[in-house]
Amino acid sequence: MANQYLCLCLSRNAVSPVPQVFEISVEIFWRTLSGLRAKLKKEIEVLFHEIFIPILEMKTSTLKQKFVILSMLSRLCQDPQALVDIYINYDCDSEATDNIYEQLVVLSFTSLQRRF
């Protein structure tokens, strides 16, 4: 039951135009990703697919929003097991909707290219 409320709260607040609310939402998502990824596999996939990846892709997203998400992804990259888990659970799973690991790598690289 708490999982539903957590995901509902994140899905509503992660698109907030208020920078502090957005940043806290990304931080909560990070903590969910780092500590509950085995229990919330499907929910994490939906949040990546529906909210965080589109924010990185949208031209209308602010630089601050993209920076906050890329900073979270940078922390993710410091955890080799998390990277393996994301690859196995989303890119290698035939039931997963998207190749999240692949998308994150491509988006991170293209964001860095645009910046430099």
Ordered by start, the domain boundaries in the chain are: 2-115
Q: Which of 100, 49, 51, 50 is nearest to 76 (CA)?
A: 100
In this predicted model, what pLDDT tens digit does every residue of 63-107 receive, in sequence order? Answer: 899 899 999 988 988 999 988 888 888 888 777 677 888 888 888
Average pLDDT of the residues of the chain = 85
Cα–Cα separations (whole angstroms), residue 67 to 18, 41, 86, 89? 15, 24, 21, 25
* Beta-carbon contacts of residue 71 (< 8 Å; ≥ 6 apart): none
Q: Quote the pLDDT of residue 98.
A: 75
The type of residue at 111 is S
* Helix, strand, coil tally for the chain in percent (to 5): 80, 0, 20
Q: Quote the pLDDT of residue 112.
A: 67
Band (pLDDT 50/70/90 cuts) for residue 1 is low
Give the pTM: 0.83
